[in-house]
Chains A and B, each alone.
Chain A
């Protein structure tokens, strides 16, 4: 081949390479625009509602007429979200991880195929459907709106996420590591517990965080299960307030002070998810360096 032609081809390849690189960087930028817009807008709108009262007070009726307006705070929703999501997490994490272990470590039989299919269906389930189901099965039967019913609805949304990420992460662990333990006479369950799970640990945590973020922001299933509560409530057998629920309800109110609080609650939700994410990542960062 003539050198001139080779050079020409080389140049066109370099051009295509550069073009594709710019295209991928551009796409990433476009995809990030909404994220930046949402975060900055929520921050802008929500930060005004933040103050000491916002974090230490519960609901207070807006006083009409003259004088200073007392708006209270969202403490009851913060506590509520923590309790509802916390209880959901306590149930969903062991269930999801164990199901994920079953799918990854005992693959190929009929029951794992069925479970995997059901998990995928559940992942795509609209959250309001889950909420209504929880309403019919729990709220109607017990004749009581309760935080627990909300937690259970969230569990149904969280388990498939945790299950599938756990499964994927365990599959990434090389078989050589399993064989090393098995060849030493380790039983399978012990191998899974001491070799496979530690290697996949940070991935499993990522799955839990994804599920947590999803659950913390869910509004629809909570509407029909925990109902909402203007007072601070600690019992999981009673109606409770939650941040997304409060944000949703307060936007419907005619008072601008409450609309502002809705923004504040939305911002707080974002911050809580972000802080949890970062702190868990820091805590579970691999201690063993290569």
Chain B
């Protein structure tokens, strides 16, 4: 543990400089939650979440299992809608506009807020068709436009060089890490504004994890990224802001502390955050 420390310190410096950078346009908030509560039946899964996610930044949600990170993430693009018995109070806004409301189509919300899941979940289709799947929702695209979009998405996801000769083979023939980058390519092909990532590297080996993390940093130049992770080093490496969540006495997830990643990891205000990041709990 002790010999890892200097390494981490250096990463924090990097994060700190990025934070200064973010302070200059701190006005720009992409997604905001206000007093958000999510219930599964009578059980309250997350309680009174009020968070701001800045534009074109990586925001990390960290915390132990059961702290409601994934539940919170899935409310941000209305993925709970399909699950019977789920109830949401409070509000989530995208560019200041509420995404929960009678006149809001969840499908339109999801086209602006993409998602990458914990386990790679490519369709049983060809690599090309996987990336092109969402394109038909963008209106009529010509064949060459579609091909260009697939190519540029695969390039952005850092997968093009590995797959450009076999776009017609099954996506299931790819390795786990490649599949996850394919899922990212699929998500960015429809050019969302926000990408939600639910533990995107937990099913991947260290090299694949490294590739995906590099990619997240790269994508943050154009997209707003919100990532749930169990891996604190990952949050430290890739995120600009970090929110630490935990489970309260009623087993509901709450936000303990939120701030620039560098500060959260070097100088946490709340003792519970400190316990978690120093490895005493969780």
A positions within 8 Å CB-CB of B: 108, 174, 176-188, 194-195, 198-199, 288-290
Contacts and interface: CB of A to CB of B under 8 A. Distances in A.
A288 B124 contact: yes
Closest 10 CB pairs of A and B: A185-B111, A184-B134, A183-B115, A176-B121, A288-B170, A185-B110, A180-B121, A290-B172, A185-B137, A185-B107
Contacts of B79: 179, 182-183
Contacts of B77: 183
Interface stretch (B24-32, B94-102, B183-191, B242-250): B183-191
Contacts, number: 68
B133 interface: yes
A184 B133 contact: yes
Interface in B13-72: none
Most buried by A among B84, B110, B117, B121: B121
Contact of B124 (A179, A186, A199): A199
B73 to A, nearest CB: 11
Given A185-B107, A185-B110, A185-B111, A180 B173 contact: no
Interface residues of B, number: 28
B119 interface: yes
B114 A183 contact: yes
Interface string B173-207: 10000000001001100100000000000000000
B121 A184 contact: no
29 contacts: A108-B84, A176-B117, A176-B121, A177-B121, A177-B123, A179-B79, A179-B117, A179-B121, A180-B117, A180-B121, A180-B122, A180-B123, A180-B186, A181-B133, A183-B79, A183-B114, A184-B114, A184-B134, A185-B107, A185-B108, A185-B134, A186-B107, A186-B137, A187-B107, A194-B133, A198-B124, A198-B125, A288-B170, A290-B170
Contacts of A174: 121
Most buried by B among A108, A180, A288: A180
B152 interface: no
Interface in B189-247: 190
Nearest to B118: A176
Q: Is the interface of A mostly helix, strand, loop or mixed?
A: helix
Given A182-B82, A183-B79, A288 B125 contact: yes
A188 B107 CA distance: 9
Contacts of B190: 184-185
B93 interface: no
A206 to B, nearest CB: 17
Given A289-B170, A289-B173, A290-B170, A184 B124 contact: no
B86 interface: no
Contacts of A289: 170, 173
Contacts of B115: 179, 183
Contacts of A180: 117, 121-123, 183, 186
Nearest to A180: B121
A288 B171 CA distance: 9
Contact of B110 (A176, A184, A194): A184
A174 B172 CA distance: 15
Contacts of B134: 184-186
Given A177-B121, A198-B124, A288-B124, A184 B186 contact: yes
Contacts of A176: 117, 119, 121
A126 B123 CA distance: 41
A123 B24 CA distance: 69
Contacts of A199: 124
Most buried by B among A179, A185, A194: A185
B114 A290 contact: no
A180 B183 CA distance: 9
Given A184-B134, A185-B134, A290 B117 contact: no
